[in-house]
Amino acid sequence: MGPLSSLVYFPLIGMVIVMCLPKEAKVAIRWTSVGASIIPLVVSFALTIDYFFGHAATGLMAYVEGPYDWIPSLNVQYYLGADGISIPLLALTGLLSTLSLLASFNIENRVKEYFAFFLLLEAGMMGVFVALDFFLFYIFWEVMLVPMYFLIGVWGGPRKEYAAIKFFLYTLFGSIFMLVAILILYFTSTPHTLNMMTLIQSGSRLPYMLQMICFIFFFIAFAIKVPVWPFHTWLPDAHVEAPTAVSVILAGVLLKMGTYGMLRVSWPMFPAALKDMAFWIALLGAIGIIYGALVSMAQKDLKKLVAYSSVSHMGYCMLALGAFSSAQAITGCMFQMVSHGLITGALFLLVGVLYERAHTREIAAFGGLGSKLPVYSSIMFFFAMASLGLPGLSGFVSEVMIFLGSFGAVNQVLVGISVLGVVLGAAYILRMVQRVFLGDFDLAKWGKLTEINTLELVTVTPLMVLTLWIGVYPKPLVDLMSATLNKLITLMQR
Amino acid sequence: MTTAAPIIDLNLMIPEIFLFLWACLVFTYDLVTKRKSGNAVAWLALAGPVLTGILTVVMFSAGFYGYGKAAGAMFEVDPMAVFFKIIFLGAAFFAIGSSFGLLKNRIVNHRGEFFGLILLSTVGMLFLAASREMISLYVGLELTTIPLFVLAAFFKDDRLSVEAGIKYLIIGALSSALLLYGMSFLYGLGGTTDIWQWKLEVARIAGKGEGVGVILTLSVITILAGLGFKLALPPFHQWAPDVYQGAPTPVAAFLSVGSKAAGLVAFAKLMIGGMVAFWDPVMIPNDWGILTAILAASAMIVGNVVAVRQSNIKRMMAYSSIAQAGYIMVGMVALNDFCLSSVAFYMFAYMFANMGAFAVIALIEDATGSCEISTYAGLSRTSPALAVTMTVFLLSLTGIPPLAGFMAKYYVFAAAIQSAGASPTFGFLYWLVGVGLVTSVVALYYYANIIKQMYFHDRPSTSPITFDAPMVMVLAVALCGVVVFGLFPEPVLQFARQIPPPYELFQH
């Protein structure tokens, strides 16, 4: 079993073990799951380091497994590989999975099922980032939906049933378009193949109409996942109803699958269609930035605020993807994916910490928490600043790269409007900070609130360290990705 | 036309004869034990399809009497026949295996008849699978359905069951009459009932410029209507929900898989085997492919949309099986190399998932007496294993990878897209695939509704469900089928690929 397979199978093995444990053995179940996710975490970080020193200069696919025949009748192969755009996301997935599992220790209801589903989810996420065969990619893409449906639907908030089915239906609706596009690509390739690497070469030779159809079909599938405005309406529901750890995964990893899919599949595969659609993609991105930020400002619920800020932040990614001809913008896009995963993941964790104690997330209910919970408040303040793009933290780096890069590559008015998103971002973040952490503290109401505990600190500290590191010294991450991104950009500009 | 005395090679029919004798054995055993046979008669019946299946596989793989013709043109064992025989025998196995719960209080008398009739119906299906000629095809189809009329009405004191039996009888008679009517036109045109001979003959007549159009059109329409009733393709579907609801649950399961597969075989033999040479707008003015595509599209739309509104799970499964028939027909009208193998594989995957889901329904019905979807609330609390199993079946029916149902859907849609891309005549298949994919999102909604009941409701409405041994076996086999053939479909696909493409069918 190669290292990439182990990323997928260790969580699956963990799931099987968890399912075999008696359901009363909650402690054993929790630690088994954490153990099963620490292995992929270690492997993914080891791969990151190894890739950085061994392969980053060339940016080629590394750790390739296969292609082995799996279903020869349908030309389906087992084919895995990772390069500069999947490696950082694998590390992010490994990290956030383990942290989310740690953050799930407070789940007391149906513990066994929860952790089993969570590990299945992790296997699916890892699989998406390493699959190089379309069939395999699609399987992992879909496999994830099932545990997600259960995690939201069983352990979610008051409107969990609605949120769960909405998420499931929306994403499945997107994936069927992807399935058609995959089939069209399969039958137009000679010899018929589902190998992504081969199809990236041959996809560009398709007739323009067919390229456009496939591009749009893939775009619908990926855009729903990102989510790009106007496909975003599942996201606030899912985020608000999902339990904390699931929100972390949803924001930290699942949304990145959409942008990863665009970078990996549809952007390099259909350059002619991309060229004509670039403006519209950037436009959707700009709308998302402004819309997400404006809606965030109006939120009364902390979690909903963070959820809509995701729409805004993923809008930056879309703007950069519209400016695909600029290496800087695309690098910024990858940066934004990683940094949004870290920051928003942490924000959801922190909102969860507060909700756990106060049983409400209403912004208006709080005030002056800074005086009662200094540690918690300063951590929250740290991530709030990262989210609004304070220089020195990772959010700033990615925003600068995206704006600088896209200014020369897409309509400049669009970029100008998008920059307003930063101001709006500052507005909703600062307003939230002011109302929750500053001002008068209601001793009668919140006198019993306790400070963030050790386990919770353990879950957010790694995210703080990485956010600061990327913000202060982004060069290693740039070096990790740049060669691969340059190759992809060459493909996009054919 | 000279007719040599047909050589009747009965050896090829050993599985059919064996199963027929076994059915007689089941009848007699119940009588000999003075109708006190208990569960033994059910076990005996369960052995029937298993042994016949072993016999079929052994005969086939040992090399003697693998493929070949018997009784002139009436009977031919080819890869398609063998593949569908396995499906029929599997359906019978699952139906009998999930009937044990009925023996406790619902079927106290006439146990021999209940199981014997299931086996007899299966014999009819086996003959149908191997027929290549209109009369034997018709006889096989009748032998399949007549026992099912009785089985549907088996709960004599239950008004719904009796209603189901009567409805099914009337609809069955009507559809057979339509089918026979259409076939009589065909006979009039070609002067033979051998489908391959008939095709050559009519091609010869048409080649001479003599019009066959109107009469052929008429027969195509009546045959499509007749088979449409059998397959419950809208607008010929109204009987299905009532019959499924009223019939004993294992019988409804058997109807939804066995009888459906029988209708598909008849469709493949008559339409694809007989008519595909006339895929030519000059020769056959109304394109039966487009007619069939319309039936398939309406099945997917009506089945999936109406299923959403059902509160009785058997009615929901009836509409779901209407929709599934629509998906299968998508593969059928592709008319390319993959068409029959995709249909066969879909049916194979569908058998495990659907029979498994019906087995769970039967189990819950035996335990609670109810088929309401609300009965499933909180099942994951009281019977977690059963809830997981049911979830897997439902996800497979939805077509979520990596389960067998997804491979089947993928293969069917792949067949259609290949065909659509290959020739502009088949451009309509793009729309058909579009309808199929969009409606499969709708399907998720009602399948997920059951999952929601089982998992998202904390207050269980049932006490823990107890299993008996045959039910454990049925569920385990179905679960393995859904998972294993989802992950490793290759052997089955290889076998399904041996089914000759339409233009070669009946040629060898």
Nearest CB to A73: which of B402, B456, B490?
B490
Quote the radius of gyration of chain A (alpha carbons, Å). Answer: 21
Nearest CB to B452: which of A73, A145, A153?
A153
Strand runs (DSSP E) across B255-399, as ranges?
A: none
The DSSP bridge pattern shows strands B68-70 and A76-82 to be: unpaired
Q: How many residues would you count in chain A?
A: 494
- pLDDT score for B205: 78
For residues B233 and B296, the answer to whether their CB atoms sit within 8 Å is yes
- pLDDT score for A349: 92
| Phi, psi (rounded to 5 degrees) for B325 | -60, -35
Mean pLDDT value across chain A:
90
* CB–CB contact B456 A153 (8 Å): yes
- Closest residue of chain A to B409, computed from CA coordinates: A179
3-state SS assignment for residue A77: strand
Residues of chain B under the 70 pLDDT cut:
1-8, 63-67, 70-73, 209-212, 276-287, 461, 502-508
Whole-structure pTM value: 0.93
- pLDDT score for B276: 64
Give contacts of B489 with chain A, Cβ < 8 Å. 71, 73
Burial (CB < 10 A; 0-12, 13-18, 19+), residue A309, is: buried
For residues A332 and A399, the answer to whether their CB atoms sit within 8 Å is yes
B→A contacts (Cβ < 8 Å), by residue, are: 380, 384, 395, 400-402, 406-407, 410-411, 413-414, 417-418, 421, 433-434, 437-438, 440-441, 444-445, 448, 451-452, 455-456, 488-490, 493-494, 497
The two three-digit tokens of residue A204, written as one number: 């560009």
Residue A100 has pLDDT above 50, yes or no: yes
> How do the domains of chain B map onto residue ranges?
11-179+235-266, 287-508
Shortest distance, CA A142 to any CA of chain B (angstroms): 6
Listing DSSP states for B23-51 in one string gives HHHHHHHHHHTTT--TTHHHHHHHHHHHH
Best residue in A23, A137, A149 for a mutation probing chain B (most B CBs within 10 Å): A149
CA nearest B119: which of B57, B45, B209? B45
| Phi, psi (rounded to 5 degrees) for B66 | -75, -85
Residue A423 has pLDDT above 80, yes or no: yes
Q: How many CB atoms lie within 10 A of CB B366?
A: 22
CA atoms within 13 A on the CB side of A5: 9
* CB–CB contact B410 A139 (8 Å): no
Listing DSSP states for A415-470 in one string gives HHHHHHHHHHHHHHHHHHHHHHHSS---HHHHTT-----HHHHHHHHHHHHHHHHH
- pLDDT score for B71: 66
CA nearest A78: which of A3, A7, A134, A20? A134
Q: Give A59's pLDDT tier (boundaries 50, 70, 90).
A: confident
Q: Does A108 touch chain B (CB under 8 A)?
A: no
For residues A237 and A167, the answer to whether their CB atoms sit within 8 Å is yes
Residue A386 has pLDDT above 80, yes or no: yes
For residues B125 and B261, the answer to whether their CB atoms sit within 8 Å is yes
- pLDDT score for B275: 76
Residue A58 has pLDDT above 90, yes or no: no
**What is the DSSP-derived secondary structure letter of residue B99?**
T
For residues A291 and A229, the answer to whether their CB atoms sit within 8 Å is yes
d(CA B168, CA B242): 9
User: Per residue in B104-150, pLDDT tens?
Assistant: 878 878 888 999 999 999 999 999 998 888 998 999 999 999 999 99
* CB–CB contact A154 B456 (8 Å): yes
| CA-based torsion, A437, A441, A442, A443: positive or negative | positive
Q: Give A189's pLDDT tier (boundaries 50, 70, 90).
A: confident
Which amino acid is residue A301, in one-letter code? D
- pLDDT score for B88: 95
d(CA A263, CA B289): 40
For residues A14 and A35, the answer to whether their CB atoms sit within 8 Å is yes
Listing DSSP states for B329-369 in one string gives HHHHTT-STTHHHHHHHHHHHHHHHHHHHHHHHHHHHHHHS
Nearest CB to B400: which of A135, A146, A187?
A146
CA nearest B253: which of B340, B110, B148? B148
Between helix A271-297 and helix A208-225 the angle, nearest 10°, is 20
User: Per residue in A29-44, pLDDT tens?
Assistant: 999 999 999 999 999 9
Question: Partners of B372 in the beta sheet?
Answer: B312
Mean pLDDT of A142-153: 92
